[in-house]
Amino acid sequence: MKEFKGKVAVITGAASGIGRAIAERCVSEGMNAVLADVDEASLARAESELKALGGDVLAVRTDVARRKDVEQLARQTLDAFGQVHLLVNNAGVGAGGSAWEATWNDWDWVIGVNLWGVIHGVKVFTPLMLKQNVECHIVNTSSAAGLLVGGGSAPYATTKHAVVALSESLYLALEQRKSLVKVSVLCPGLVRTNIADSELHRPSDLKNEPVEMSAEMQAGLKMFRAAIDAAMPPAQVAGAVFDAIRNEQFYILSHPEWLEAVQMRTDKLLRMENPQNPTAIVMRLIKPGN
């Protein structure tokens, strides 16, 4: 898809971060933008600000972990604009630690948003796009964590690897059918987003019991926030996404420097060696100023 003006985009997680930047880019390209997010206040603000930029924008409060919400998102999109040409399954959260220490609530919440959210988007919108028989594109947001070994959060790493696999499967199935619907998977490194504040939007029924953070945990969170504050601006990622859509490029690696860590994982696998923690490489990459 090389022409965007007048076409319709649906973006989840659109109230902030990468989703908001992609929505802004959609408006600048002359697209009609449907913004979906669970954060109603930020969603309303994004809708107002993008309309002020001249965009034809619709905001739909959506919890992507709920299939009925995504089905309603599709209905409202079609009622408002009649078609959908670009779907960006971007909503995501981070929580939990090691596989056994992450709580059941952590696993349920992260899988619900990061994986089921993408599955719901794919299942609901792909048939609509196929029926239209026009050029369309689906972008699923994974992470560099979906290409690396391990990570601090087992639920997060698990879902991001799964999104890569889901996207590859979707791409191949659509290519086999010679479909006009194309697919990309976005695997960014650190981006200046609000992911460190994901807990603010955790559903009440999936909240953990309050625990006192150790000094080590507090220091780790402080370092992570500093790295996020110094990270790539979301608008730069949005630019990479639109370049990939125009070029029908599947893998979107907005942070090519992270390929060093991906290469290490691949080399270990091909030599059938045990996994190696990429922390040393990753810490160098996320150090403020890099």
DSSP state of 273: P
Strands in the chain per DSSP E: 8-12, 32-37, 57-61, 86-89, 136-141, 181-186, 251-252
Measure the CA–CA gap between 220 and 212, rounded to whole angstroms: 14
Q: Which of 81, 107, 156, 258 is catalytic?
A: 156
Measure the CA–CA gap between 69 and 60, rounded to whole angstroms: 9
Q: How big, in percent rounded to 5, are the helix, strand and coil portions of the chain?
A: 55, 10, 35
In this structure, which amino acid lies at residue 57?
A: V
- Spatial contact of 9 and 32, defined as CB atoms under 8 Å apart: yes
Helix axes 67-81, 117-132, angle to 10 degrees: 30
**Backbone Cα Rg of the chain:** 19
Measure the CA–CA gap between 242 and 258, rounded to whole angstroms: 20
171 flagged as catalytic: no
- Spatial contact of 63 and 114, defined as CB atoms under 8 Å apart: no
Helical (H) or strand (E) element with 28:
helix 17-28
Measure the CA–CA gap between 200 and 214, rounded to whole angstroms: 20
The set of catalytic residues is: 156
